[in-house]
Amino acid sequence: MLTVGFIVLLSSAIWLYWTFAGATNYQRDVRLAQGARDAVFRDQLDQETSLRGFTSTLQANFLDPYGRSQAHLDIAFADLEDQLKRLRAPQLLRFVEVEVSLHKRWHDEVAAPLLVKPRGREATRLQYHGKDLIEKFRAADYALDVGIARAAAEADDAENVALLRVGIVTGVLGLAFAAAFLYFSGQRARMQAETLRQRTLYENEKRIADALQAAFVQKALPIIPNLGFHASYIPAGAEARVGGDWYDAFELPDGRILFSIGDVAGHGIEAAVIMSRARQAIISSALHEHDPAIVLSRANETLMLQEPKMVTAICGYIEPESLVIRYATAGHPPPVLALPGGEPFFLDHDGMPLGILPDVHYRSFDVRAQPGALLVLYTDGVIEHKRDIAEGERRLLEAARRAQTEGSNDPALAVRQAIFADKAPDDDVAIMTVKFTTGERPATATINAFVGNSLTVAAPENPSMHA
């Protein structure tokens, strides 16, 4: 009996060893496949970003990452195919074939012509065509990522099944196999401790995110005669909690109104921290300057001293008496101005995003509003959530027109409802509107933030100034 028990114990030990060794090796192959897929994605993203920077600025130094990525991308694709074969997941190879085909089309049909004629007559069409190809590439990459993640889950399930069998075997053998039972119980205890550690880390990060949410959201918008401020912020999803979009409006000691809106690339805690730095850099500079172009230049210098990350922004000042708006933009979608009796239009804009290059100079623009006008400031999630920028811009202009002509009490909420009535945003969205009105100063203002509700501040109107 003892001999049989020893043979069973030894056989179980050998079987368990190969089971865990196989699961460990498979998990290693999964990590290698994930790393190869990440390398392809980074190289493709570097090429796209490099080309976009070059076509926007015509500065040749933007093409350095393009050349490096182009030289490495074929190797990255080949490595990804090898890793998927080692993973025994041939069904995922077709997504790699799709990515290779789409990248070749993007390079031949979009990148090559734009490198020759970045500002040619076909440039806009090529950029839209390129965006469509990149979206298809990202869809294939997402499907590939899901497939690799499924393989990882299957590896985890295999390991869990092995542990369950260990429990059954040790229960049947009883005290004779107590040592083996204790060993595998110890293994399970260590796994549970690791799970608890990971859960604790997640909960800590969630608490940090909640704290950042409370700290970063705009607490109050100014209540100013002649002006009515309203705003709405929608995070990309419940899991994001915090993101990189912001808006601000403050009354300065000299009576001017400082406003800003911006967007940091990415989501989560890192983007929120960069967003806080950008906001504070703009506010600090704006307190001592009258030219928003200089404010953006100094904010860019501040961000370049820290870990650089691309930030688009608009900042400016409003004179409540003259209704003059003076603003500057840094790679951000242009504001919309809706004047009474006319069609809404996009204001002039110019300038490179913050946090990319040092010593960047920006340009200020002046425009005069009039009583009854509506200024709409927004982040790119407003016009890009349909994957069609031209259609997104058309919908935004129509939403601004309706909010202005219908005299909405909350234009920011009206614009948001008009654009996102049929589909929730895929990206963080911030909308801030300014009504140029006449009347008396309102008594109260209400705010409800970070759950997608509108931030509302009513304001009086003044019929004395016209554009």
Q: What is residue 234's DSSP assignment?
A: E
Averaged pLDDT of the chain? 81
H or E element, residue 434:
strand 429-436
| Mean pLDDT within 226-250 | 79
Highest mean pLDDT among 16-20, 22-26, 384-388, 401-405: 401-405
User: What pLDDT is attached to residue 214?
Assistant: 53
Residue 345 phi, psi (nearest 5) = -145, 155
Least confident span in 41-45, 167-171, 274-278, 392-396 = 167-171
Residue 315 phi, psi (nearest 5) = -140, 155
pLDDT band (50, 70, 90) for residue 446: very low
Residues whose CB is less than 8 angstroms from the CB of residue 211 and which lie 6 or more positions away in sequence, other chains included: none
CB 218 within 8 A of CB 237: no
User: What pLDDT is attached to residue 215?
Assistant: 53
Residue 317 in this model has a pLDDT that exceeds 70: yes
> pLDDT of 138-180, one tens digit each?
898 888 888 888 877 776 676 666 666 656 666 665 666 677 6
In angstroms, what CA-CA distances link 256 with 144, 295, 323, 363?
52, 15, 10, 20
> pLDDT of 351-379, one tens digit each?
999 999 999 999 999 999 999 999 999 99
User: What pLDDT is attached to residue 357?
Assistant: 94
DSSP-based three-state secondary structure for 315:
strand
Bridge partners (DSSP) of residue 368 are 324
In angstroms, what CA-CA distances link 445 with 222, 234, 371, 442?
9, 20, 21, 8
> pLDDT of 177-190, one tens digit each?
677 667 777 787 78
Residue 241 in this model has a pLDDT that exceeds 80: no
Give the integer Cα–Cα distance in Å for 398 and 343.
Answer: 9
CB 391 within 8 A of CB 398: no
pTM of the model: 0.53
CA 149 to centroid of chain Cα atoms = 22
Residue 91 in this model has a pLDDT that exceeds 90: no
Give the integer Cα–Cα distance in Å for 15 and 451.
Answer: 53
Nearest to 231 by CA among 215, 219, 213, 243: 219
Residue 443 in this model has a pLDDT that exceeds 70: no
User: What pLDDT is attached to residue 173?
Assistant: 58
Query: Which amino acid is residue 70, in one-letter code?
Result: Q
CATH of range 217-456; options 3.40.50.300, 3.40.50.720, 3.90.1150.10, 3.60.40.10: 3.60.40.10
User: What pLDDT is attached to residue 355?
Assistant: 94
Q: Greater confidence, 178 or 440? A: 178
Beta-strand relationship, 324-330 and 336-338: unpaired
User: What pLDDT is attached to residue 118?
Assistant: 87
User: What pLDDT is attached to residue 463?
Assistant: 32
pLDDT band (50, 70, 90) for residue 217: low
Q: For residue 404, what are its two tokens?
A: 């202005």
pLDDT band (50, 70, 90) for residue 3: low
Residue extents of the structural domains in the chain? 2-209, 217-456
pLDDT band (50, 70, 90) for residue 19: low
| Mean pLDDT within 221-228 | 90
CB 304 within 8 A of CB 339: no
Q: Greater confidence, 12 or 383? A: 383
> pLDDT of 383-415, one tens digit each?
986 678 899 999 999 999 999 998 888 999 999
Q: What Rg value do the Cα atoms of the chain yield, rounded?
A: 28
User: What pLDDT is attached to residue 436?
Assistant: 95
User: What pLDDT is attached to residue 44?
Assistant: 86
